[in-house]
Amino acid sequence: MSSNYISYPSKNFFLFTTCLTNGLSSQKILSDLFKKYKIDGSLLADVNQVHSNKILVVDKSGNYGDADGIITSPTDNLVLLIKTADCIPIFIYDNITRNYGIVHAGWRGVKKKIHLKAIEKFIGLGSHKNNLNFVMGPSIKACCYEVGAEMLDYFGTSVIEKNGSFFLDLNKSVTSDFVNIGIVKDKIKIDSICTYENKHLHSFRRDREKSGRMLSFIVNKK
């Protein structure tokens, strides 16, 4: 983690998540990243996140309304962005076709299998699932994600019981679903940082209405 953002290594793509530091807004950090890496901010595409399983394939910049994931092909070089504050930002990219996307995955979206629907969309764009790479950015981890017992019905062994309380490991649930459809674990990377524990990251569960949002984006390197 740098002072203002987290970056993830990729040969063909930029993958970034902004942090909460030095009084800078997420928007200011985003602007600075665009300048530093010569990314065209006018090509930004985003959605109004509603905890759905709706994934959109887009080919131009702009806001696309209610959805929780966006995917594109390399020809338009769009900057795909989502906002999080405990939910998982899932970066997805294909080094062969250079298709790429990003998904906002909270427990509601994961329950609705938004991450698997994203794979279906990639396949529709010509990607093979075995060529997809997944990076799960910072999110709340099982250590701090206390939930009700009813979550056992949805997430099974991804819910951990400790002294009569229940904790959800959302990264485990997503990973299990990927592995169950044949994705090899080497293709799945998980950031170990817990947003609740790390004061440099926004956490709605920790800060409630005072919480801001981290901005995560992926863009094709020129």
Site of tokens 């890496």? 37
Q: Does residue 158 lie within any of the structural domains?
A: no
The pLDDT, as a whole number, for residue 212 is 82
The tokens describing 58, both together, are: 């887009």
Q: Does residue 46 lie within any of the structural domains?
A: yes
The pLDDT, as a whole number, for residue 219 is 97
2 CB neighbour count, 10 Å cutoff? 10
The pLDDT, as a whole number, for residue 72 is 97
Q: CATH code at 41?
A: 3.60.140.10
The pLDDT, as a whole number, for residue 215 is 94
C-alpha distances (whole Å) from 70 to each of 29, 56, 138 are 22, 5, 19
The pLDDT, as a whole number, for residue 188 is 98
The pLDDT, as a whole number, for residue 141 is 97
Task: Classify residue 4 by its DSSP letter.
Answer: S
Q: Which structural domain range is residue 37 located in? A: 5-139+187-220
Q: Does residue 177 lie within any of the structural domains?
A: no
The pLDDT, as a whole number, for residue 75 is 86
Element (H, E) at 79: strand 79-84
The pLDDT, as a whole number, for residue 76 is 82
Report the distance separating Cα 61 and Cα 36, nearest Å. 21
Q: Does residue 57 lie within any of the structural domains?
A: yes
Report the distance separating Cα 214 and Cα 84, nearest Å. 5
For every one of its 222 residues, what pLDDT tens digit does the chain have, with 9 covering 90 and above? 557 899 999 999 999 999 876 667 888 899 999 999 999 999 999 999 999 999 999 999 999 999 999 999 998 899 999 999 999 999 999 999 999 999 999 999 999 999 999 999 999 999 999 999 999 999 999 999 999 999 999 999 999 999 999 999 999 999 999 999 999 999 999 999 999 999 889 899 998 988 889 999 999 997
Report the distance separating Cα 73 and Cα 77, nearest Å. 8
How many independent structural domains does the chain possess? 1
The pLDDT, as a whole number, for residue 25 is 81
Q: Does residue 87 lie within any of the structural domains?
A: yes
Q: Does residue 163 lie within any of the structural domains?
A: no
